[in-house]
C-alpha cells in the first residue's frame, strides 16, 4: 500500500492552524474535496512560495497520515496555472470567490466529480484570459454547475400545470426560488401558489443579498412578493446554455437584461437550494454597487 498520493487540484481555501501550519482545502480531480495540512507553511516562505493563494491550479503530492483521524501532509506542489490575472482584479476575485464557495459548500469530502472539476478549471482559465465578460461567464458557470449537480430547475414550462413556456402568454414569468420552478400567470394566484413557509423576498434577503442591507433597486424591479420575474427570452437562453457545449455558450451574445436577470435568478436559487448564505455574494454585491472595473 502506497503511503503517498498525487492529484491535480484547485485551491478552495486555507485556514491557519497553530503558529506555523496551514490547513488547506482542495477540490481535486481524482479525489474530490480534501483537506491537507501544510507543515511550517507560515514559517518557511520558500517552501510553498506563491502556491497557497486562492484559485491556483496545481498538482499536489501528499503523505498519508500515520494516525487515524489525522490529515494528509502536503509535501510539494507543482503549479499548473496560477491564474495570476484573477488576483489583480477586485471584480474577478469576487466572482471567482463565489464560484469556489459554491463548490466548497456543495461537494462532499472524498467524492470526485470530474465534470465539475473540468468546469471550474475552464471558467477560471476563461476568467484569467479576460476574453469573456465576467458576468456572462458567471451565468454560464452557475447554470452548468446546476446541470452537473442534478438540480437544474425546469425553465421551459410551468412547474405546476405543465404549460410550456411558449404557451405562457405573459412576457415575464415568475420563478419561485424556494420551490425551484416557474409559475405561469394562471397558477400564480394566491390560492394556487405553493406555500413555502416564508415570503420569497425573505429568501432573497437571507441567501442572495447582504444581510445588513435591503434589496437593491435593480433587484426589487425583478422580485415580487411571489418570486423573481424573468423574461421568456432569458429563460430560453439559460436552458440552452445548460445543454450545449460550453465553448458554444461562451460565444453567444447576451443582452444586458438577460445577464442581469440570469444573475438574479441563479444567485437567488443556488444558495437557497444549497441551504446556506454565501459570504462571497456579499462581497460581490458590494463590488457591483461600487461599479468597480474588471
The answer, yes or no, to whether residue 264 has pLDDT greater than 70, is yes
- The residue among 152 and 63 whose pLDDT is bigger is 63
The answer, yes or no, to whether residue 48 has pLDDT greater than 60, is yes
Helix residue spans in 204-275 (DSSP H) = 217-222, 232-243, 246-251, 256-274
Domain residue ranges in the chain? 4-131, 149-290
pLDDT of residue 47: 80
**Residue 38: band (very low, low, confident or very high) from pLDDT cuts 50, 70, 90:** very high
Taking residues 24-35, what's their average pLDDT? 97
121-124 CB contacts, 8 Å cutoff, 24+ apart: 121/10, 121/57, 122/246, 123/99, 124/10, 124/55, 124/57, 124/81, 124/83, 124/86, 124/96, 124/99
The CATH number corresponding to 4-131 among 3.40.718.10, 3.40.50.720, 2.40.50.140, 3.40.640.10 equals 2.40.50.140
Helix (H) or strand (E) holding 10: strand 4-17
pLDDT of residue 69: 84
pLDDT digits (tens, 9 = 90+) for 57-101: 999 999 998 888 899 999 999 999 999 999 999 999 999 999 999
pLDDT digits (tens, 9 = 90+) for 231-245: 999 999 999 888 888
pTM given for the model: 0.85
Whole-angstrom Cα distance, residue 172 to residue 166? 12
Using the 8-state DSSP alphabet, how is residue 223 labeled? B
Taking residues 207-227, what's their average pLDDT? 41
Amino acid at each position: 500500500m502506497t503511503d503517498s498520493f498525487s492529484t491535480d487540484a484547485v485551491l478552495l481555501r486555507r485556514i491557519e492552524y497553530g503558529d506555523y501550519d496551514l490547513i488547506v482545502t482542495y477540490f481535486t480531480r481524482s479525489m474530490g474535496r480534501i483537506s491537507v495540512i501544510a507543515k511550517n507553511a507560515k514559517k518557511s516562505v520558500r517552501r510553498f512560495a506563491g502556491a497557497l493563494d486562492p484559485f491556483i491550479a496545481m498538482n499536489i503530492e501528499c503523505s498519508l497520515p500515520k494516525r487515524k483521524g489525522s490529515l494528509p501532509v502536503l509535501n510539494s506542489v507543482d503549479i499548473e496555472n496560477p491564474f495570476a490575472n484573477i488576483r489583480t482584479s477586485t471584480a474577478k476575485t469576487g466572482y471567482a470567490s463565489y464560484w469556489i464557495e459554491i463548490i466548497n459548500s456543495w461537494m462532499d469530502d472524498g467524492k470526485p466529480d470530474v465534470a465539475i472539476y473540468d468546469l471550474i478549471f475552464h471558467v477560471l482559465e476563461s476568467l484569467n484570459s479576460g476574453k469573456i465578460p465576467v458576468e456572462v461567464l458567471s451565468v454560464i458557470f452557475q447554470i452548468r454547475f446546476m446541470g452537473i449537480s442534478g438540480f437544474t430547475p425546469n425553465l421551459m414550462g410551468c412547474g405546476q400545470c405543465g404549460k410550456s413556456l411558449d404557451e405562457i402568454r405573459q412576457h415575464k414569468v415568475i420563478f419561485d426560488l424556494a420551490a425551484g420552478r416557474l409559475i405561469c400567470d394562471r397558477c400564480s394566484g394566491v390560492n394556487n401558489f405553493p406555500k413555502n413557509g416564508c415570503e420569497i423576498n425573505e429568501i432573497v434577503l437571507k441567501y442572495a443579498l447582504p444581510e445588513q442591507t435591503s434589496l437593491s433597486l435593480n433587484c426589487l424591479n425583478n422580485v415580487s412578493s411571489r418570486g423573481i420575474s424573468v423574461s421568456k427570452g432569458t429563460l430560453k437562453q439559460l436552458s440552452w446554455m445548460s445543454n450545449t457545449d460550453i465553448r458554444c455558450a461562451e460565444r453567444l451574445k447576451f443582452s444586458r437584461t438577460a445577464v442581469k436577470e440570469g444573475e438574479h435568478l441563479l444567485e437567488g436559487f443556488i444558495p437557497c437550494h444549497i441551504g446556506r448564505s454565501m459570504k462571497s455574494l456579499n462581497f460581490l454585491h458590494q463590488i457591483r454597487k461600487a461599479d468597480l472595473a474588471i
